[in-house]
Chains A and B, each alone.
Chain A
Amino acid sequence: MRLLNIFAILGMTILSLAHLASCHSNLNIETAQYAVNGQKLYMTNCQNCHGAKGEGLGKLYPPLTDAKFFEENRAQLSCIVRNGMQGEITVNGQTFNEKMPANPQLSELDIAYILTYITTNFAKSDSIYSHEEVQKALKDCK
């Protein structure tokens, strides 16, 4: 019975990974795995404000769809997720100026999962945020 359960879970994981990978044919299996883990964490920690599709909310909370912003602020993203942020930012040509709360409960690996999910799903990037990259970025937070 227990074995059956394990098989079922394994099967489902492979299926969902395959599903993600097929949506995004250029994602390798590790990136897809990070994104699947990131989706759960996103729903609990980020979705309230940033929305199920990363659409944001009006001019209160920025959308997470600006690939250019992600590229230009790649190292800074880990710091924003962990420490929150204040002050004016421009996303998709729109100015936002609300306070984002810190997320001290998220581990380095959690942040890597979340950033991989956000950038591959909402901004159609294909690169992974590795555990090591997040670790290094967090050391250099201003």
Chain B
Amino acid sequence: MIRTLFCTAACVLTLASCQSTAKKLPIIGEREVVQKEIDGKMVTDTIYPAIPSFEFLNQDSVMLSDKFFDNKIYVANFFFTHCPSICPTMQRNLLKAYEKYKNDKRIAFLSHSIDFKYDQPHVLKSYATKLGVDNDQWQFVNGSKAAIYGLSDKYLVFTKEDPNVPGGYDHSGYLVLIDHDKRIRGAYDGTNNEEVEKLLTDIDILLQEYK
């Protein structure tokens, strides 16, 4: 009896120590389990949701696609330049991450404008420059309403055109952390200081996966 107890304790201890050294971020979203045939055998496979391919005009009027983010992790969000509500706080916080990892090729940043009418490339360029972004590590993009709003669903971020809210667009202020396989590994409220701190910690944890 005592021996069993010891055994259990040892097992628990080993497990606990193991988890603390190799912490891994979860993969977020509904996973799909599929049966497929490989070499005549039925195999069960799990498919995780991922950000589909995309193509948008960026702040330099150049087409930017998902290829830009290959072999990088990135943080994505949705905003608009003359947003009077949550965006300034969200962008101030994302700027902290940008400055921390500036010139680190393993990570990039992507802000989608949800004001498809007003935020033309030159408006985004001026905004980015004034915010303090002076390299291509943080991309600002604009596209058709269908494309941007459709993609925001994939990032699990709520966006909506709404004349009843200040600025005319309603959206949530999440900063979404994406891995090399374009899967969501974390979502953080960009207006909450504690969650932004957690994002910075989680970026380091995710980078460890690609050492």
What are the interface flags for A78-116 relative to B under an 8 Å C-beta threshold, 1 for contact and 0 otherwise? 000000000000000000001101000000000000000
Question: DSSP class of A's interface residues: helix, strand, loop or mixed?
Answer: loop
Number of A-B contacts (CB under 8 A): 32
User: In the complex, are the beta carbons of B132 and A48 less than 8 A apart?
Assistant: no
Q: Which of B36-44, B55-63, B85-93, B140-148 contacts A (4 or more CB under 8 A)?
A: B85-93
Residues of B within 8 A of A101 (CB): 84, 166
> Cβ of B67 < 8 Å from any Cβ of A?
no
**CA A57 to CA B92, docked complex, whole Å:** 7
**CA A49 to CA B91, docked complex, whole Å:** 10
> Cβ of A59 < 8 Å from any Cβ of B?
yes
Residues of A within 8 A of B87 (CB): 48
Interface size, A (range):
10 to 19
Residues of A within 8 A of B92 (CB): 51, 57
**CA A98 to CA B84, docked complex, whole Å:** 12
> Cβ of A122 < 8 Å from any Cβ of B?
no
Q: Which residues of A approach B to under 8 Å, CB–CB?
A: 47-49, 51, 57-61, 98-99, 101
**CA A106 to CA B172, docked complex, whole Å:** 25
User: In the complex, are the beta carbons of B84 and A59 less than 8 A apart?
Assistant: no
**CA A51 to CA B89, docked complex, whole Å:** 8
Min CB distance, A42 to chain B, in Å? 14
> Cβ of B169 < 8 Å from any Cβ of A?
no
| 13 contacts across the A-B interface (CB closer than 8 A) | A48-B85, A48-B87, A57-B88, A57-B92, A58-B95, A58-B131, A58-B132, A59-B129, A60-B88, A60-B127, A60-B131, A61-B88, A101-B166
Residues of B within 8 A of A48 (CB): 84-89
CB closest chain-A residue, reference B82: A99
Residues of B within 8 A of A61 (CB): 88
**CA A101 to CA B88, docked complex, whole Å:** 13
Min CB distance, B198 to chain A, in Å? 19
Closest 5 CB pairs of A and B: A59-B130, A58-B132, A49-B88, A60-B130, A58-B131
Residues of A within 8 A of B82 (CB): 99
Residues of A within 8 A of B130 (CB): 58-60, 98
**CA A48 to CA B87, docked complex, whole Å:** 8
Min CB distance, B188 to chain A, in Å? 18
Interface residues of B in 87-124 (CB under 8 A from A): 87-89, 91-92, 95
Residues of B within 8 A of A51 (CB): 92
Min CB distance, A47 to chain B, in Å? 8
Residues of A within 8 A of B84 (CB): 48-49, 101
Residues of A within 8 A of B91 (CB): 57
